[in-house]
């Protein structure tokens, strides 16, 4: 009976993954053609040495070119890069992951304080990718909260575990600073100058999603998250172990993003695709599961303000390259109806194409 009335049986707090079931209920089972491989190919993700951006104009120019190439690899796009020498101490990364994993070990009564299906809530604990309307359920739980300006939001975050605000606050601050540097490098690589987005991002949003993917008894028939692209400008990801896969456009194949100690992953989002007028494309990704261990990831999503519209940079639009996207805001995405059915492959970016 559990398996038939999925949405009610496995609501937040009672999901199969939170209960640690020893089997995968029917409504978590992915259609055969979408199932992950237990031995995926590993993606060849470019590694960008971010420290070189500050080593003088010659070194900077080389890194900017590397970023441009990474964003346009093979004429398609593989906008997933690892960045090393990013300036964030390893202890800050380790402590953020450690306190993030503690959140999910708290008793249900603690987590219940933040449970919600409302996508507009600034702090929210949930289990569903699409907030209660998935036809297929996904084997993960998350805590999502706003983080910029930090002083405005930090006191709304969980105060249990007791060090969560301090360790995650430190990480958020560092990663926000890094997001400005990455954005400057990306807009410079587009030829529109490093400060093109600075003010808008200063006034923009930072949303942290702490994801937990508990051990799954049958990882070959379920997913942690379905295929999706990020609806932000960019997302910076820290993960405890591999499990993130990206779609390799040229080959039409899923490949696993390798785990590099101390590296951060950077995904270009839908809004950078729009800004670049399609020169750079947002990366399509999904999350796979592991049989014997929990995977934790912290995604820091950076976008313009809630109502601020993103359009193509006018410098990248001309007769030969007409505008290819409608303008949209972060709020437009939040209001986007939940139609991202795995079988239909609908996505927000496709609704923006002219």
DSSP codes joined into one string, 202-223: HTSEEEEEEEEE---S-TTS--
Q: Burial code of 128-150, b = ≥16 C-beta within 10 A, e = fewer?
A: bbbeeebebbbbbbbbbbbbbeb
The pLDDT tens digits for 118-172 are 888 899 999 865 544 557 889 999 999 999 999 999 999 999 999 999 999 999 9
Note whether 237 and 267 are within 8 A (CB): yes
Say whether 266 sits in a helix, a strand or coil: strand
Determine the pLDDT at residue 214: 96
Note whether 80 and 272 are within 8 A (CB): no
The pLDDT tens digits for 19-53 are 999 999 999 999 999 999 999 999 888 889 999 99
Say whether 347 sits in a helix, a strand or coil: coil
From the list 316, 12, 305, the residue with the least C-alpha distance to 143 is 12
CA atoms within 13 A on the CB side of 123: 15
Strand partners, 142: 126, 211
Q: What is the pTM assigned to this prediction?
A: 0.92
Determine the pLDDT at residue 351: 85
Determine the pLDDT at residue 130: 53
Determine the pLDDT at residue 129: 54
Q: Domain boundaries in the chain?
A: 38-352
Q: Which runs of consecutive H residues, i.e. helices, occur in the chain? A: 6-9, 16-19, 57-71, 90-103, 108-112, 150-153, 164-189, 198-202, 270-275, 330-334, 348-352
Topology classification of domain 38-352? Jelly Rolls (2.60.120)
Strand partners, 300: 208, 236
Residues of the chain whose pLDDT is less than 70? 1-9, 73-80, 128-134, 337-346
């Amino acid at each position: 009976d559990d398996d038939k009335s999925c949405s009610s049986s496995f609501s937040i707090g009672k999901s199969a993954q939170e209960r640690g079931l020893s089997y995968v209920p029917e409504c978590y089972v992915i259609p055969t053609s979408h199932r992950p491989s237990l031995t995926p190919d590993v993606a060849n993700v470019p590694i960008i040495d971010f420290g070189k951006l500050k080593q003088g104009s010659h070194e900077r120019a080389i890194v900017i070119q590397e970023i441009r190439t990474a964003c346009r690899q093979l004429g398609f796009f593989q906008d997933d890069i690892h960045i090393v020498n990013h300036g964030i101490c390893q202890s800050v990364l380790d402590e953020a992951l450690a306190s993030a994993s503690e959140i999910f070990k708290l008793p249900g009564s603690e987590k219940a304080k933040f449970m919600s299906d409302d996508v507009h809530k600034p702090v929210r604990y949930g289990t569903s990718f699409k907030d209660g309307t998935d036809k297929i359920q996904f084997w993960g739980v998350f805590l999502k909260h706003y983080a910029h300006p930090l002083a405005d939001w930090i006191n709304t975050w969980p105060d249990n575990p007791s060090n969560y605000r301090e360790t995650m606050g430190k990480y958020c601050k560092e990663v926000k600073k890094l997001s400005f540097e990455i954005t400057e490098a990306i807009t410079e690589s587009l030829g529109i100058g490093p400060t093109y987005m600075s003010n808008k991002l200063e006034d923009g949003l930072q949303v942290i999603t702490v994801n937990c993917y508990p051990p799954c008894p049958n990882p070959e028939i379920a997913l942690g998250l379905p295929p999706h692209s990020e609806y932000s400008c960019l997302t910076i990801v820290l993960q405890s172990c591999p499990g993130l896969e990206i779609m390799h456009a040229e080959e039409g194949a899923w490949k696993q993003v390798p785990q590099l100690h101390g590296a951060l992953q950077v995904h270009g989002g839908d809004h950078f695709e729009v800004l670049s007028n399609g020169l750079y494309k947002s990366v399509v990704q999904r999350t796979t599961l592991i049989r014997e261990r929990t995977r934790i990831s912290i995604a820091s999503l950076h976008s313009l303000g809630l109502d601020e519209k993103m359009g193509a940079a006018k410098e990248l639009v001309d007769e030969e390259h007409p505008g290819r996207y409608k303008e949209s805001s972060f709020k437009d995405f939040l209001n986007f109806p939940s139609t991202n059915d795995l079988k239909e492959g609908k996505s927000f970016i496709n609704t923006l194409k002219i």
